[in-house]
Structure 1
C-alpha cells in the first residue's frame, strides 16, 4: 500500500522529514496544531527528537510507523513532532517539565499537554505495548479527570516559571572571586575524576570540553601538575579510543562504556567544534604531536563530510546506516585482511583488531592502546616508518569505507553550532598556524553573516536557501564569541564591530533588567508557557556563561565599563554554585579564572604585526586579548590609540588595567611581561 505524506512533508528539518510518511497525523510545532487542540479540547502529544538519535529511530519504527498505534494517536490526540535542534526553546521547556515530574530526561522526549499547551505527564522511549497502554490511559484520564490534570499542569507551569536564581537561592550575588574559592573549585572538580581512563567517573562518558578547558586555565594559574595530568590522560584516552574515528577523524557524541571504547556512533558538529578548541589549547600547552594529529584529522573530517558548498557546516551524521548502529565504522578482521593485505597483521595489532572482534558479532571498533613511539619501539620500527604505514592504512580503509552505505546526514545548518566550529577553527589556527584553517573559518563567518543575519537580528537555522526560525541567545552568544576570536587572528575590525552590534541587540532584546541575566528567547519571539534562562553549562556551555565571557572581553576592547561590570554581576549571581558544582558550571569557572588577575591587553603595531601575532598565539594565553595593525592611527579601537611604531620596528605594548609596560620589539620580551603579572 502506498504511504501518504503527512504535514511534515512540507518541513525542511531532516528529522521531521524522516516522519513525513508515518501514518501518524503529525503537525509541526505552531499555531495550527495548538488551535486545533483548543477547538477540539483534545490533549496534545509533543514528541521531540533529532535526526542522529538512535532511540528516536527505534520508537519511530516500532510505534509511529505502526498503523494500529497511529490510529490510537490520531483519534485521541493532537500529535506534534519537534526537532529539538531547530527548537531548543520548546525542548528546554518540556524537558524541564519532565524533570519537575521527577522523571529521567532524554530523547525521544514524549510529553502530554492539555489544550493550553501545559504539561501534565511525560517520558522518553516506550516499547510499543507500553506506549499503547499509556496512550489509552491518558486519553481516558483526560476525558474523566480533566480538572485534576489541568490543576497538575498549572502546578508544573508555576514551577517552570520559577527563577533559576530563586530556585538555588542565588539572587543576591557574591563578589568573592578569591584564590581560596578558586582552589576549592578545583578540589570539588577533582573528586569526580576518573584517574584510570580520564574524563569523569562512570559510564556513559561524554567528552565535556568545558571541564577540561577550565582545567587548562586552572593549570595555567596554579601550575598544579595534577590538573595537567588529568587533561592529558583524558585527551590521550579519547584520541586512542573508539569514540575517536581512527580512520576518518572526528569524535562520536559519547562512549557507552567507561573506557572510551564503544561510541554511540553519531557525530555532532557541536562536539567536534569544541573538541578542536580543547585539543588546540592542550597543544599550545604541551606540544604533544598526538593533539596536532587529532586537530588536522578532525578538520579534514569536517571539510570532507560536514561542509556545505556555501561554506556552512551541517549538523550531524547519524549513528545508524542500513538500520544498524555503527555499521559504517566497524570492520571484521577478514575485511581488514582483504583491504590491507600483508599490512593487515601489523595494522591489526595497532588497532586492537581480533578474529572474534572487540565488539559484537565479530566486529571490531578500531582503537589504540599505545603511543606511536612505544608501538614503533616494540615492533623494531623507526617512528617515521610506522607513521608512513599508519597513513597508508588510514587512506586505504577510508577509501574502502566510502564504498559502504553512508550514515544519514542532517544537512540543516544551525548558527550556534556553526559558531562553535568557527571558534574551534580559530583556536586550531592559533595553535597550528596553517592558512587553510583560517580560510575555512573566514568562509564560514562570511556565510553566517550573509545568510543568517538580517540587520542586527540572527536566525537560528538555514536549509535550502531559507532561514526561518528567529535566533536564540545561544546563536548570539556563540557567534559573538567566534567573531571576537576571528578578529584576534586577522586584525580585521569589521569582525569585532559585528560582535559589538550583536551584543547591543542581545542587551535590548534578551536581557532581564531585574535579574541581570539573559533570557534564552528574544522579546519578539514566540511566547511559550515559560520564558527560560540557561544557567548550567552542559555539553554546550550555557548561553549566559558565554555572554558573560563576551562582555568581559568586549568591555576591554571598547573600554566599556558597563559591559565589564555586567559580566562581573552575572558571575557573582552564580558564584556560590560555581564553586560548589564546577562540573555543571565549568564555563562560568573559566570566567572566574579571568577575575583572579587582570586580563593582558596586547597591542602590536608595525609591518610585522601578523608574524608577531602568529608567534604569540602559539602560546596558551587564555587571559589575554590581542589588537593589532600594520600602520599607526588607522583604528578607532581604544587599545590602539596612541600606539606608535618605535624606531621603524614593529612594537608590542603589554597593558593591564589601563597601565602599560615599557614597549618592546620582540615576542620573547612581550611574553616575559605577560608572565610576570
Structure 2
C-alpha cells in the first residue's frame, strides 16, 4: 500500500516519522487522488516537533507494526507539520473544535477523498483507558462505518464544509478610544492579583497584551495598566517557566504560580517576550527588565540560531523520553556539584521536589544578596547541565517567526546598546530575503539548511517579515529594506484581501476545502493584526493613504474580538493604541547612534523611525538635511515635522511634548 515518503521532507517533524512503518504521505493532491482510486478515507495527523503527546502517540501507534499495517490497508495516511502548513492546521482544527468541543495536538482527522472532515480527535491511546477508545478501535469503527454508512459519512463531511467554510462577514466597527478603555477594564477583571497574569491555570505568557498595556500606559498614564505589566513580567521571569541558567522562556506554566513549565521553548514566544522586556525597560528602567531582555536575546543567539544565520523554530520538551529532564535538579545532585554553596542555592532557587523523583526547576523569587556567588553557581550548573542530553531542536526557519525575532533583536540591540543583536537581525533578514523570497515576489514559509521548503507563505509571513524590514530602516540605514517591505505588502493587498476582508492564504495558493481567516492573537499574532501593524508603519514611512486605509481595514477584522475578549486581541489593540495616538514619525538624517537610540527608546512603541543619508529616496527622509553639518532628528506627524534637533536630550523633550 505504498511506502513512507517523509524522508525527503525539509520539516524535522516529518523526518522524525520517516522510519515509521506507516506509509506516510506529504500533504498534496496525490494523497486525495490515491484515496479516490482506492476508495478509502484519508487519515490526517497534524503535530509539531516540540509536541510531547505527538511523540507519545507516534511511539505507541505509528511505530507499531500491527497498527501501521491496518492503517496502510484501510486509509491513506498523511502527516502535516502544523508550523510548516498553518493553513491546513487552521481549517481542520476549526473542524475539530466544532465537532468535539476542544482541540490540540496531535490532531487526528479523518477525511473523505474530497478533503471533507467527518471524524475528528486529538490523542488516541494505544489501549482504551479513562473512557477513551483506543486508536485501533477508532480505526476499526471508522472502517466499518465507511463500508456500511458511506452516505451518512459523506453527508457529515459536506455539512461541516458548508457550515465552517461559509464566507465570513467583513469586520465592522473600529477599535476606538472606547474599545481601548473597555479592554483595559476587562483585563483588570481577568487579572490575577495574587500570582499575576490573566485567568487560571494553565497560564501562557500574555506577550501581546503586555505590549498593549505598556503602549496604553505611555499614552494615557494609566498606572493600573503598568502595574499589571510589572507584576506579570516579574512573576514570569522569577518562576520556573524562565530558564534561570541560560535564559529563554518555556511555552507556558501548567500552574497559576508560574512554577511548573511545559518545557518546550518556541522561537515566537521568546521573540515576543524579548520585545516586551525591552519595552518594559524602556518605560521603567527596571534592572530586572534589562537583565531578562539581555538573557533572552543571548538565548536566541546561542541556542536557536542556525548556521545560515536564521533562527530555529523550537527546542523540544523531552530528552531521553522524559519531559523536562534537561532542566530539573535534585537537591542531592546540587550538593554533589556545588559543595558548600549547595544549601544556599537550594534555598535561593526553591528546590523543593516539585517533580517526579524529587526534582525541581530552578526559580529565583528574589535577587540574591551575593550576586557574584550566584553567577559562580550558575556557571558551574551550566557546565554540569551541558553534560546532559540536549533537547532536540526543530531547525527549520519559519519566515513569520524570524520576522518577529528580527524586529525584537533590532530594537533590543539599539535600546540595550548591544550591536551584536542588530547584526544578528540583519543576517536573519538577509537569509529570508535570499532564500525565502523568490524572483516573482512570492515569499516561502520555511527553509532548512539553506534549502527553501515547498510551503508558500501565509499572511503572517508576509506581514511579520515586512515589519521586520521596516524596523531595520531605523537601525541599518539600508534603503533596500523599504523596497522589500513595500513589495511584500503590495502583494498582501493583491493576494490576501478580497472585498475588504483579509484571508490567511493567498488567492493563488493551493485551494483547500475552505479559505482560512482568523483574527485571533493567540500563541502568536494573527496575520491580520501583523498586517495592520505593518501597513500602519508603511503608511507613516511613505505617506500613502492606500496603506493607511489597509491598516484600518485590518483592525476592523479584530474589532469585535477586541471588544469582548481583549486577551485574544493583544496585537490588534497595541496597533490601535498607536493609531489612536496619531502615529509619530521620526526621521534621522546623518549618522548618529545616540539619536537613533533615543528615538527607539523614548518614542512610543509603534513609532516609525527611519535613519539615512541626506537625499535618501525614503519618502520620510525626503527634503530633510543635516543641521550645521550635524546629524539631526525630525519629529513628524502625518509628514508635518517640527524643527530638527541635534542633541539626544532635545529629542527626548520633543517626544515628551508630542505625547
Q: Do both proteins adopt the same fold according to a TM-score greater than 0.5, normalized to the shorter chain?
A: yes
Cross-structure match for 1:365: 361
| Cα pair distance change 1:300/1:658, threshold 3 Å | closer
Cross-structure match for 2:413: 429
**Unpaired stretches in structure 2, ≥5 consecutive residues:** 128-133
Residue 618 (1) aligns with residue 588 (2): no
**Quick one: distance in 2 between partners of 1:319 and 1:509?**
37
Cross-structure match for 1:460: 445
CA RMSD of aligned residues (A): 1.7
* TM-score w.r.t. length of structure 2: 0.95
Q: What do the CA deviations read for 1:584-605 (whole angstroms, capped 9, x no partner)?
A: 1111111211232221222222
**Quick one: distance in 1 between partners of 2:192 and 2:415?**
28
> Which of 78, 81, 91 in structure 1 is aligned with 2:89?
91
Q: What do the CA deviations read for 1:293-341 (whole angstroms, capped 9, x no partner)?
A: 1122222222222111110111111110110111111111111112112
Cross-structure match for 2:161: 157
Q: Determine if contact 1:5/1:21 at 8 Å carries over to the other structure.
A: no
Cross-structure match for 2:349: 351
**Quick one: distance in 2 between partners of 1:387 and 1:618?**
28
**Quick one: distance in 1 between partners of 2:322 and 2:186?**
40
1:573 to partner: Cα distance: 4.2
The SS at the match of 1:203 is coil
Cross-structure match for 1:382: none
Cross-structure match for 2:55: 57
The SS at the match of 1:570 is helix
Cross-structure match for 2:172: 173
1:517-532 equivalence runs, <5 A: 517-532=501-516
**Quick one: distance in 2 between partners of 1:402 and 1:550?**
40
Residue 406 (1) aligns with residue 390 (2): yes
Q: What do the CA deviations read for 1:262-281 (whole angstroms, capped 9, x no partner)?
A: 11111111111111111110
1:248 to partner: Cα distance: 1.4
Compare 48-57 and 12-21 and name the one that shifted more: 12-21
Q: How many residues align?
A: 649
Residue 632 (1) aligns with residue 617 (2): no
Q: Determine if contact 1:332/1:362 at 8 Å carries over to the other structure.
A: yes
Cross-structure match for 1:568: 552
The SS at the match of 1:315 is strand
Q: Determine if contact 2:329/2:360 at 8 Å carries over to the other structure.
A: yes
**Quick one: distance in 2 between partners of 1:103 and 1:387?**
49
1:620 to partner: Cα distance: 4.9
| Cα pair distance change 1:122/1:445, threshold 3 Å | same
**Quick one: distance in 2 between partners of 1:203 and 1:466?**
40
1:121-140 equivalence runs, <5 A: 121-129=119-127, 130-140=134-144
Residue 487 (1) aligns with residue 473 (2): yes
| Cα pair distance change 1:652/1:346, threshold 3 Å | same
Deviation >4 Å, runs of 4+: none
1:13-28 equivalence runs, <5 A: 13-28=11-26
Residue 511 (1) aligns with residue 497 (2): yes
Cross-structure match for 1:381: none
| Cα pair distance change 1:148/1:352, threshold 3 Å | same
**Unpaired stretches in structure 1, ≥5 consecutive residues:** 377-385
Compare 483-492 and 571-580 and name the one that shifted more: 571-580
**Quick one: distance in 1 between partners of 2:585 and 2:479?**
16
Q: What do the CA deviations read for 1:449-506 (whole angstroms, capped 9, x no partner)?
A: 1111112221111123321222111111110011111111222211122111111122
**Quick one: distance in 1 between partners of 2:508 and 2:557?**
26
Cross-structure match for 1:255: 253
| Cα pair distance change 1:623/1:449, threshold 3 Å | closer
> Which of 649, 656, 662 in structure 1 is aligned with 2:637?
656
1:162 to partner: Cα distance: 1.9
Q: What do the CA deviations read for 1:127-160 (whole angstroms, capped 9, x no partner)?
A: 1132111111111111111111111111111123
1:408 to partner: Cα distance: 1.2
Q: Determine if contact 2:543/2:638 at 8 Å carries over to the other structure.
A: no
The SS at the match of 2:328 is coil
**Quick one: distance in 2 between partners of 1:172 and 1:90?**
23
Cross-structure match for 1:44: 42
The SS at the match of 2:118 is strand
1:306-455 equivalence runs, <5 A: 306-354=304-352, 357-370=353-366, 372=367, 375-376=368-369, 386-455=370-439
